[in-house]
Structures are given as C-alpha cells and as structure tokens.
Structure 1
C-alpha cells in the first residue's frame, strides 16, 4: 500500500530525563509539497497552551529566533524574539525552544503542545534520529525544562502553520536587543496573527 500523502502518529515515546516524564511526538512523512493542501495553525484545547518557535538565519550566518505561546482562543500569552549573532539554523532552533521554555516555566506549569517547522530538530529532540553533537547539551536542557510542565507534546508542522513564530524571528534581524511581549503583539505581527485565526487552510508554498 502506498504511503503517499499519509502520515504516521507515534505515541508514548519515552525520553529519559531526571523525572522520566512521558513525552509524545507526531511526525509526518516527507511527501511532495503538492500533496499537502490543508495546512493551518490550530488552537490548543482549553486545558493546554500551544507553543510555536522558529529560527531564522540570513547571510552571513546571522541568526534570530522567535517564540510565542497562545491559549485556546488564539490570543497570545507570551511572545519573545532575540538576535543570536552568528549561528547555524539547527542551533538557532534549539536555542529558541530552550530559552522560550525557560521563560515560560516561570509563569506556568500547564500542559504544552509544542510545534516547530524543523523536522530534523523535532526528530532529534524526540529520539527519531541521532542528536547532532552541537545541540546535545541544549536538547538535554529542553528535556530537563519539560519536566517542569504537566505534560509536553512535541510536533513537527509545516512552515505555513508556523507563521507567527517565523514573523518574530525575522523581526529580530533588525533589532539588537531581546524583545518580550506579554498578552500583546507588535503591530508588525498583526498580519501573521490574523492569518492564523481567520483564514482557511492553505497549501505548501503559501506566503504572507
């Protein structure tokens, strides 16, 4: 039977860390972009928070990251962005999630749904592939931080379902100091925010 256009759901993947917390992951097969047509950011259930994070690198290897937490009505709770200087994209993705979870852990211990658009990083984080040596310490930090929340569910999503975090990461390329928004968003993120809440699904390759 062909796997074209299908996806796999993987549950109860255990990752070893100090409290032996059970983490879950969902990942999709690498199917041709034309087969993916129903992409949309989805709000979390009322009992959970959704985390989206992203890294962005522009020549010459200048990295910036974005991190946003939203509740079931789609409204933001916390959003951050920071410029990381010279760094590759995989390391930037890892730093974005670690630093964001560290900040969030001071505000809540609620159940989290965590989404990122780097499949390599999500697979490394959840044990689907070997962790590259340059992010091993950061992955350990992320697993340790995850133990401070009731539960954490890691999921790979397409970039088109991660527009707001992507917007924050790109915003930081023009800013030198870290930014923090609590229950608010900058005007430059309005289009991405409204797109997530009010548009229908889109296909791979859609852009703002």
Structure 2
C-alpha cells in the first residue's frame, strides 16, 4: 500500500480520491457571522427542519431588532412535509407574526435555503403545486411591508432559527415566545449578538 508521501509524489492525481480529500483538507474554511440589522429595521431569521426517517417536519424562527435584542420566537410541528416545504412555511409563518405585531416598516428576511431566498428576491414562479400555494400566500403578505430585503446565510449563521425549528419537533401545538427567549437559545443569541465567527468548511 502506498504511503502518503508516495501518493503525493504520483503525477496523475486529478481523479485520485485521496488527492481530492487532501485538497479538501487544505481549503480555508468560510467565516460566518450573524449580522445585526440597521436602526429602524427588524430582522427575521427562519428555518425548517425535517426528520428523514419519519418524514415529520417542523418550523421555527426568531425576530430581533438592531441591538440583536429578542423580540419574538416561534416553533411548530407541521406534520409530514419535505425540507423545502418546511422552509417555505417557516418563512410564511414568520412574516405573519411580524405583520401581526406591527413591525412592517423595514424587514430583513434571512434563511439558509438559498433557492427560497432567490425566489422571494426575484418574485419567481414555481412549478410545484404545493410550493406554489405557499409561495402565493407569501407574495400576498409582502405588499404590507414598506421595505423588504432578503438574504441567504449559511446554516452556521442561522443557528437560533435552526434551534427553534428543531424544538418544534417536540411540540404538540404551535408555540410563540415574546420578549424573553427560551433558555435553549439564550447562549446562541448572545454569541450571535457579539458577532462570534463560526467556521464553515468549504464544500458543505
């Protein structure tokens, strides 16, 4: 069996899985941070969670102000659904709650499902009937907001919303937290408010 030194000396490494793994190890990780919104802007981070073995899904999200202070959090089990539908419902529910609370001046939407963010930004139509129904509901809500900005963030920067979404798996009915966050997310919220950098390996 070739030793690692001999493998590195081989000239035809392009399709060698060992060499690909070595190159992967030498890629610099991406630095990910959660960013505070500007003054006068409210930020909604949302996420969906799906258990592949059972097919059960849940949603969650968090609303914070320009000081990264907790305004509202939500979590809910939504039964059987795939991860895409869970992400869409998480966003729709978050928008409904933001609107219900009168925070409709400037809203920043942020999630780790890039395709959904692009659909919202570009107001794209989708072919899937189930997706189209939920997206249409989101589009009907958006005009109620004065200004909307949507952005994608890696899941390492969406940890609070991810935690809420996972908490939803254990709930028998929808849950909303106001002003004071549950202890399960307090430590993560503090880290994000302080601008903690979380490293993400390239290729994930």
- With structure 2 as the length reference, what TM-score do the two structures score? 0.79
d(CA) in 1 for partners of 2:106, 2:47: 20
- Counterpart in the other structure of 1:111: 106
d(CA) in 2 for partners of 1:56, 1:66: 8
Larger radius of gyration: 2
1:130 deviation in Å?
Answer: 5.4
Q: Write the mapping of 1:171-186 to structure 2, written as runs, cut at 5 A.
A: 171-186=167-182
1:143 deviation in Å?
Answer: 1.7
Report if aligned partners of 2:35, 2:195 keep a CA contact under 8 Å in 1. Answer: no
- Counterpart in the other structure of 1:49: 42
1:91-139 Cα distance to aligned partner (Å, 9 max, x none): 0111111111112111122200100000122223333865241211211
d(CA) in 1 for partners of 2:64, 2:123: 27
Q: Which has the higher strand share?
A: 1
Q: Write the mapping of 1:25-64 to structure 2, written as runs, cut at 5 A.
A: 34-58=27-51, 59-64=53-58
Report if aligned partners of 1:167, 1:192 keep a CA contact under 8 Å in 2. Answer: no
Report if aligned partners of 1:37, 1:201 keep a CA contact under 8 Å in 2. Answer: no
How many residue pairs end up in the alignment?
175
List gaps (5 residues or longer) in structure 1: 1-31
1:198 deviation in Å?
Answer: 2.4
- Counterpart in the other structure of 1:98: 92
d(CA) in 1 for partners of 2:141, 2:77: 22
1:44 deviation in Å?
Answer: 0.3
* Residue 74 (structure 2) pairs with residue 80 (structure 1): yes
- Counterpart in the other structure of 1:140: 136
Runs of 4+ in 1 over 3 A off after TM superposition: 32-36, 127-130
* Residue 126 (structure 2) pairs with residue 126 (structure 1): no
1:175 deviation in Å?
Answer: 1.6
- Counterpart in the other structure of 2:83: 89
- With structure 1 as the length reference, what TM-score do the two structures score? 0.78
d(CA) in 2 for partners of 1:164, 1:101: 17
List gaps (5 residues or longer) in structure 2: 1-23
